[in-house]
Amino acid sequence: MLFYLTALFSGLLVVSNILGVKLFSIGPFMMPAAVVVYMATFLITDVIGEVYGRKNARRTVQAGFFTQIIALVFIYLAIELPAAPAFGMQAEYAMVLGGSFQVIAASLVSYLISQNLDVTIFHTLKKKHGKKKLWFRNNLSTAAAQLADTVIFIVIAFWGAVPTQAMLGMIGAQYIVKLIIALVDTPVVYLLVKMAGRGKAAEPMAYDSARVQS
Q: pLDDT band for 49, please (50, 70, 90 cuts).
A: very high
The CA distance from 41 to 152, in Å, is: 17
pLDDT for the residue 202: 63
CA distances from 160 to 6, 157, 170, 180 (A): 36, 9, 15, 30
Separation between Cα atoms, residue 143 and residue 117, nearest integer Å: 10
Q: What is the pLDDT of residues 75-128, one digit of tens each?
A: 889 999 999 999 989 988 888 887 766 777 888 899 999 999 999 999 999 999
Which is more confidently placed, 117 or 165? 117
Mean pLDDT for all residues in the chain: 85
Higher-confidence residue of 213 and 119: namely 119
Confidence band for 5, pLDDT divided at 50, 70 and 90? very high
pLDDT value, residue 72: 86
**Pairwise pLDDT comparison (6 vs 99), residue with the higher score:** 6
Please give the Cα distance from 7 to 122 (Å, whole number): 21
Q: Choose which CATH entry (1.10.1760, 1.10.3470, 3.40.30, 1.20.1050) describes domain 2-207.
A: 1.10.1760
CA distances to 11, 58, 130, 162, 202 from 19, in Å: 12, 25, 37, 21, 36
Whole-model pTM?
0.82
CA distances (Å), 193 to each of 8, 27, 37, 188, in order?
15, 34, 19, 8
Going by C-alpha positions, the residue among 9, 144, 118 that lies closest to residue 68 is 9
Contact 50, 134 (CB under 8 A): yes
Higher pLDDT, 110 or 21: 110
Instruction: Determine the Cα–Cα distance for residues 45 and 208; give it in Å rounded to an integer.
Output: 27
CA count, 13 A, side-chain hemisphere, 208? 5
Going from N- to C-terminal start, the domains of the chain cover 2-207
Would strands 29-32 and 23-26 be described as parallel, antiparallel, or unpaired?
A: antiparallel
Contact, 40 vs 12, CB < 8 A?
yes
**Which residues make beta-bridge pairs with 24?**
31
Specify the pLDDT at position 28. 72
Split at pLDDT 50, 70, 90, the class of 191 is very high
Question: Pick from 170, 175, 112: which is nearest to 147 by CA?
Answer: 175
Q: Given this model, what pLDDT does residue 211 score?
A: 47
Mean pLDDT of the 27-46 span: 84
C-alpha radius of gyration, the chain, whole number: 19
Average confidence (pLDDT) over 66-78? 89
Q: Where are the beta strands (DSSP E) in 17-107?
A: 23-26, 29-32
How much is the pLDDT for 100?
A: 62
